[in-house]
């Protein structure tokens, strides 16, 4: 399972020109699922994402987590994070989990985030989404 974290001042998801989710300052987390992933992996990755010190305090530029600062979180499924780009010009998605498994683990990830963060928004699994964001820093991390 991969999670791409972006510290944002704002982020939103639109589907068919309708805004379906939006957050203010916090984290935008894109999640990609692999066939070998399990609910335990989803929960561990969610905890890592929420506990990572990537927000500033008065002492250091990266000394607090999104939980510490009371930030919001937007979680978006992104199967392209599981792409194999090592050969040719066309990405292969053979290494991505099947949709049923991926959706189940994505929802496990979201549930874990909701257990720990006050304001959580999500995209819609499998939808063609337009994601807008203002990356703060820019700060971006890939967790796997």
Distance CA(70)–CA(49), nearest Å, equals 14
Catalytic residue among 30, 55, 79, 109: 79
Distance CA(132)–CA(70), nearest Å, equals 21
The verdict on whether 79 is a catalytic residue reads yes
Catalytic residue among 6, 30, 55, 78: 78
The verdict on whether 78 is a catalytic residue reads yes
- Tell whether the torsion through CA atoms of 54, 5, 88 and 35 is positive or negative: positive
Taking the CA of residue 19 as centre, how many other CA atoms within 13 Å lie in the half-sphere pointing to its CB? 8
Catalytic residue among 38, 80, 85, 140: 80
Place of tokens 């510490």: 68
Distance CA(93)–CA(82), nearest Å, equals 7
Q: In which region does residue 55 sit, left (phi positive, over 0), alpha (psi from -120 to 50) or beta (all else)?
A: beta
What does DSSP say about strands 18-23 and 2-15: parallel, antiparallel, or unpaired? Answer: antiparallel
Annotated active-site positions, please? Answer: 78-80
């Amino acid at each position: 399972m991969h999670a791409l974290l972006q510290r944002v001042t704002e982020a939103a998801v639109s589907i068919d020109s309708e805004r379906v989710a939006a957050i203010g300052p916090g984290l935008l987390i894109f999640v990609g699922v692999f066939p070998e992933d399990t609910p335990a992996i989803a929960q561990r990755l969610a905890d890592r994402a929420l506990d990572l010190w990537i927000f500033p305090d008065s002492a250091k530029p990266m000394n607090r987590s999104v939980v510490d600062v009371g930030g919001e979180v937007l979680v978006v499924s992104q199967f392209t994070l599981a792409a194999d780009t090592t050969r040719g010009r066309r990405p292969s998605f053979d290494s991505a989990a099947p949709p049923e498994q991926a959706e189940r683990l994505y929802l496990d990830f979201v549930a874990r985030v909701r257990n720990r963060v006050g304001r959580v928004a999500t995209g819609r699994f499998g939808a063609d989404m337009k994601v807008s964001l203002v990356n703060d820093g820019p700060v971006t991390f890939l967790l796997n």
